Amino acid sequence: MGDPARLTEVQRRKLRLWKRLVVVCVAGSGVLMLAELALLLWPGAGRGLRISVAGALVEFVVSAAVLGGMGRCPACGARFGIQSQGLLPSRCPRCGVALG
């Protein structure tokens, strides 16, 4: 069995962009969760600020879930689905192209 097929440079860039977006949304969710916790514990925090941070937190969490669930192979368009390890499988389940 030979080497798995490789992504073209354009496909690799598309995959990297998708990964960055998901990672930024997940990291942003973590930061905003900590900020919301701090605001809840800080007695002088205004209600508007708490609501704004909570709204941004919800937006980041939903964005991470939607982007993560809509991940597709740039070569054939197959969905990745939910992975038990990491963000991407090592190979596409349909076409077998190396994604790592």
Q: What is the pLDDT of residues 24-58, one digit of tens each?
A: 999 999 999 999 999 989 888 899 999 999 999 99
Span 63-86, mean pLDDT?
82
85 pLDDT above the threshold of 80: no
Phi-psi region of 96 (alpha: psi -120 to 50; beta: other; left: phi over 0): left
Residue (of 21, 24, 31) closest to 57 by Cα position:
31
Q: Which amino acid is at 36?
A: E
- How much is the pTM? 0.80
pLDDT at 4: 64
Q: How many domains does the chain have?
A: 1
Distances (CA, A) of 81 to 25, 28, 37, 93, 98: 18, 22, 31, 10, 16
- Band (pLDDT 50/70/90 cuts) for residue 84 is low
1 pLDDT above the threshold of 60: no
pLDDT at 30: 95
Tell me the three state secondary structure of residue 44. Answer: coil
Residues of the domain holding 27: 1-100
